[in-house]
A and B are shown apart, each in its own frame.
Chain A
Amino acid sequence: MTPELGQLALILALLLALAQGVLPIVGAWRGNGALMAVARPAAAGQAVFVALAFGLLVWAFVHFDFSVQYVADNSNLALPWYYRIAAVWGAHEGSLLLWIFILNLWTVALAAFSRQLPEVFAARVLGVLGLVAVGFLAFIIFTSNPFGRLLPMPADGGDLNPVLQDPGMTFHPPVLYMGYVGFSVAFAFSIAGLLGGELEQAWVRWARPWTNVAWAFLSGGIVAGSWWAYAELGWGGWWFWDPVENASFMPWLVGAALIHAQAVTEKRGSLRAWTILLSIFAFSLSLLGTFLVRSGVLTSVHAFASDPRRGLFILCFLAVVVGGSLLLYALRAPKVAGGKPFRVVSRETAILVSNLMFTVAAAMVLLGTLFPLVGDALHLGKVSVGPPYFGFLFPLLMLPVVLLLPFGPFLRWGKSDAAPLKSVLLRVAIAATACAIVAAFLVDGQLKAIAGVAAAVWCAVGTLLYVYKRWREVPRGRRYPAEMAGMLLAHFGVGVFLVGVLLSESLSVTRDVRMAPGETQTIGSYQFRFDGVHASRGPNWHAEQGVVTVTRDGKPVAVMHPQKRTYLRGQVQTESAIDPGITRDLYVALGEPMDPAKLEGAWALRLYHKPFVRWIWAGGLFMMLGGFASAADRRFRVRRAAAAAQIEPVAGESRA
């Protein structure tokens, strides 16, 4: 009975979404206050019904209701309860339900904290969000119903894909979706601005924390995904330029551009049209990302079997959203343009350059990701674009951003003097060169590692110089408002990230080896001794567990237990063993037995020494913190004391 209730709840939510999407926009157009007033109650009602549907699906998983096809496909009696809950978003249908649920959380938060906005504008914003919800709910109801029945009911279900049975996976999709969906607020804002033909700076100020929070969540989601890939999927890689990784990375890049462009628009009024365009792109790419992951049009580690109806719906939905908003943009953008002029040496220029690079980088990633589809359409054959394409172009495009980064905070709005910039340039250049020279001796002249040290020092010292300048020049208590602290944290994070990427990429040592019990391999200054495998068992798997003892100069460092797990339905999954450290990770993965009949014999093992790999995620976390911190700025809160503080609890709720 309950699954039908869930289905009914979704249909009611769709009707309410229609009301929320159409009536307030008509009301705003006609100046009808009663119609505009529909927006908030409709949004609240829709949220209640979607929450109900989501809750019912969770309930079905928790109570093993295998009469629901989706539950039967993705869980079984032996699956622990926490993975049964994570299984809700473990496949296509449920993850779309999660998406719409999170959209509702954002909408309700927006409805609650938009009282200071002019009623007409708020009605348009909520209306646009309602229309987005209509698209998603229709998609779920007509093509991807999570409540479909499976009769007769099987005694036990299938299994949640073993790669998803990892703590990283429980966080990754909800956090990532918080980011994707969060960009819908900036999008709704821009569309509402275009519909009304004006975009006041005060409204942009109001929108900024939402975008920052969305971007911060997206950063967190990408970090979680990268970590998960490292530990679960990739045999020690942290980024593969896989279509699905790219799908989350493109909105992140455009989002990074957007939060900077919004700052310009809010403070100076300029780049309005550009800000609007970026928010349209950010949200469109989020949609594309959601669908790329779930539709299976591209071959990827995440690809799901596809259904042509879904693909068609997705294509139409994307066409309406992207095409419609770009058309509106073309018609209305000239109306909202304006703002103060700026000179070549100014903060606006620096931001514009970095914006350009971020956007071009996103376009480059988009081209590489969709190229197989293009190639297919043009009958070029089955083509894929290899990671070196991205690995070659991306650093090249980001180089100007990294070079400009230390100067950004020092530049003034509108027009800046060159003199203070020269002193900054001199100091960061000396610091970077000095550290690069020292590093050159330590890393055996590895160019990439030296460049990594120099670039990281360049960013970090540049950021710290500004911290010092504020410390010296500004009285206590006003030195680091949250907005600035966030910016500094994120910029510092770029430096940390660069250390991680370039040092781990250049100095890592990987070895795939064949080891018989008792044999030792030396990697760097570590000795790895293989002590054989024994059987191990978990709630829904059994495994061959290897024992690898690591020593350094005869002193014990770690005993590692990599596993080769076999899950209930026969799926095999490698669980790597990782000995984490600030300056290095040791990583051992168990390959296969050399002779399947002789498990106590030799095995294939992959051994890794990865210096500074953790700094990659630390850098990402710094950026995430930066996003959250700047959203908490009091300046955004002045006219809505309670609002900004409430954003965080909303986030916590959806993760729970």
Chain B
Amino acid sequence: MNPTRKRRLTIVVSVLAAAAVAIGLTVFALQQNMNYLFTPSQVQSGEASAYKTFRLGGMVKAGSIQRASDSLKVTFTVIDAGGAMPVEYTGILPDLFRDNQSVIATGHMDNARFIATEVLAKHDETYMPKELKDAMAKAHEGKKVDGAAAQDNKPGAPQP
């Protein structure tokens, strides 16, 4: 083999090896960090049981927010049209967190309760994240997704 070919071969082999490593690592990292979004009724029907950590999306049930008297622990209920899921969280809630607000919480199940490590509320109260709207629509095909979800379609809603 002449030197040019040998060099080219070395380059091709090392590029392939690097690509293999890169793809392997990427797939590994993706698998570790993929978070699925489920609504309470999907969780209750067992769709989320295969995942340790997932995201729970829905509306905060009016009047369900309960604070502990001596710590930052807070419990509330996330609902969609067909289900409800109690959530426990310790920390500071986002500015827009309130009754009937659409939220996405990341965390895991502990018995029948969802332990959240992060709670997000979208910064524009008229806007429901598209994926959450889709997930809720999917969970209740044929059923009416309640009020706040429909607000997204309201013409002329202020945009951020």
Contact = CB atoms under 8 A, between A and B. Distances in A.
A297 B92 contact: no
B33 A592 contact: no
A95 to B, nearest CB: 11
A491 interface: no
Contact of A304 (B93, B134, B159): B159
Q: Interface centre among A159, A375, A381, A569, by most B CB within 10 Å?
A: A381
Contacts of B145: none
A514 B92 CA distance: 9
Given A299-B131, A305-B152, A592-B92, A384 B29 contact: no
A297 B25 contact: no
A69 B156 contact: yes
A305 B37 contact: no
Interface stretch (A200-208, A221-229, A388-396, A494-502): A388-396
Given A383-B37, A392-B29, A592-B92, A73 B158 contact: yes
A442 interface: no
B70 A514 contact: yes
B114 to A, nearest CB: 16
B130 A389 contact: no
B35 A386 contact: yes
A31 B72 CA distance: 74
A26 B36 CA distance: 51
A367 B30 CA distance: 9
Given A69-B156, A74-B158, A386 B33 contact: yes
Given A299-B131, A591-B93, A384 B37 contact: yes
Interface string B112-137: 00000000001111110111101100
Given A299-B131, A574-B95, A594-B67, A371 B30 contact: yes
A319 interface: no
B72 A513 contact: yes
Interface in B60-84: 67, 69-72
Interface SS majority for chain A? mixed
A364 B122 CA distance: 26
B35 A303 contact: no
A654 interface: no
Contacts of A572: 95-96
Q: Interface centre among B26, B33, B38, B106, by most A CB within 10 Å?
A: B33
Interface string A344-374: 0000000000000000100010011001100
A306 interface: yes
Contacts of A382: 36-38, 131, 134-135
A651 interface: no
A107 to B, nearest CB: 29
B55 interface: yes
A428 interface: no
Contacts of B67: 594-595
A396 B159 contact: no
Interface string A598-615: 000000111000000000
Contacts of A387: 33
Contacts of B156: 69, 73, 150
Contacts of B125: 571
Contacts of A164: 160
B130 A296 contact: yes
B2 interface: no
A393 B30 CA distance: 10
B160 A163 contact: yes
A655 B90 CA distance: 43
B33 A396 contact: no
B131 A388 contact: no
Nearest to A233: B123
A512 interface: yes
Given A235-B92, A392-B29, A592-B92, A512 B158 contact: no
Interface residues of B, number: 44
Contacts of B26: 364, 367, 393
A91 B95 contact: no
B129 A381 contact: no
A574 B71 CA distance: 21
Nearest to A301: B123
Q: Interface centre among A150, A303, A396, A589, by most B CB within 10 Å?
A: A303
A389 B33 CA distance: 6
B157 interface: yes
Contacts of A69: 156
Contacts of B159: 73-74, 91-92, 304-305
Contacts of B32: 388-389, 392
B22 interface: yes
B36 A606 contact: no
B160 A512 contact: no
A592 B94 CA distance: 9
Contacts of B135: 382
Q: Interface centre among B55, B72, B126, by most A CB within 10 Å?
A: B72
A74 to B, nearest CB: 7
Contact of B71 (A90, A368, A375, A514): A514
A360 B26 CA distance: 11
Given A305-B127, A574-B95, A383 B160 contact: no
Contact of B72 (A235, A372, A604): A604
Q: Interface centre among A235, A383, A574, A605, by most B CB within 10 Å?
A: A383
Nearest to A573: B95
A385 B35 contact: yes
B1 interface: no
Contacts of A92: 159
Contacts of B35: 383-386
A158 interface: yes
Contacts of A540: none
Given A73-B159, A384-B35, A572-B95, 9 more contacts: A73-B156, A161-B123, A301-B123, A303-B129, A303-B130, A382-B37, A512-B90, A512-B91, A594-B67
29 contacts: A69-B156, A73-B156, A90-B160, A150-B156, A161-B123, A299-B129, A304-B127, A305-B126, A305-B152, A381-B36, A382-B37, A382-B38, A382-B131, A383-B34, A383-B35, A383-B36, A385-B33, A386-B33, A387-B33, A388-B32, A389-B32, A392-B32, A393-B26, A571-B96, A572-B96, A573-B95, A589-B92, A591-B93, A595-B67
A-B CB proximity, top 9 nearest: A382-B37, A591-B92, A161-B160, A389-B33, A386-B33, A158-B158, A299-B129, A572-B95, A389-B29
Interface of A: 69, 73-74, 90-92, 150, 158-159, 161, 163-164, 235, 296-297, 299, 301-306, 360, 364, 367-368, 371-372, 375-376, 381-389, 392-393, 396, 512-514, 564, 569, 571-574, 589, 591-592, 594-595, 604-606
